[in-house]
Structure 1
Amino acid sequence: MSWQKFGIRPELVQRVKAKMKNDSIKERVKALLDGVSKYDLQDRAKVHRLVKSAARILNEPLSDVQEGQIVSFIIAQKIDPKNMLSLLKLWSMFR
């Protein structure tokens, strides 16, 4: 399922991709997500906190609507951070 179907704007995705090329920002985001399980990524409250924290790290102001769209997208993907196939599928979506 594409992130565009959730109403996530391509401009936002491109800005985030560009910011993630900065090694210090990438390391901070990786530290934020360290230890996150597939069960955490199905809990709306936890995902919402992670999205807010990542937006602060990326200095990317998000509206409530944008946050909701991103949270819904993450939950719908049923991401398993320990499953390489799941991560490859997600990676290919944002290449």
Structure 2
Amino acid sequence: MKVYEKYGIDPVWVERVKVKFKNRETKERVKQILHGVTAQDLQNKAKISRLLGAVSKALGEKLSEEQSNTIIDFVISQQIDPANPFHKIKLWNMFR
């Protein structure tokens, strides 16, 4: 069982999003949205909610309020620091 599944994130949804990330334009749009995001931003529910809304729009994915809250809780619990290469590796391994 993947870590995100323990939080109630649907693996079918994750696979669908991973396929969308293979599109170079989509990937670049998401990278632009997330450019400059800090560890503090990823501990702030309001900021994560705004980022999630922008990313889901870029991916063409509609999220229910429940799905959004689940993803927000997951992001906060991971205590991600985008400036830390080990955190990036951990995330990469989590979603490969």
1:65 has 2:72 as partner: no
Structure 1 segments unaligned to the other structure (5+ residues)? none
1:61-90 per-position Cα deviation (integer Å, ceiling 9, x unaligned): 110000000000001000000000011011
Question: How many corresponding residue pairs?
Answer: 95
- Which aligned pairs between 1:9-88 and structure 2 lie closer than 5 A? 9-88=10-89
1: CA distance, partners of 2:90 / 2:74: 14
Consecutive unaligned residues in structure 2, runs of 5 or more: none
CA RMSD of aligned residues (A): 0.9
Task: Compute the displacement of 1:41 (Å).
Answer: 0.4
Residue 11 of structure 1, CA deviation: 0.8
TM-score by length of 2: 0.96
> What's the offset of the Cα at 1:9?
0.2
Q: Offset at 1:47?
A: 0.3
- For 1:58, the aligned partner's letter is L
CA–CA distance in 2 between the matches of 1:76 and 1:52? 19
Query: What is the percentage of aligned positions where both structures have the same residue?
Result: 47
How does the TM-score come out when normalised to structure 1? Answer: 0.97
Measured in 2, the distance between the counterparts of 1:49 and 1:5 equals 24
Secondary structure of residue in 2 paired with 1:88? helix
What per-residue deviation string (whole Å, max 9, x for no partner) do you get for residues 3-43 of structure 1?
00110001110010000000000000000000000000000
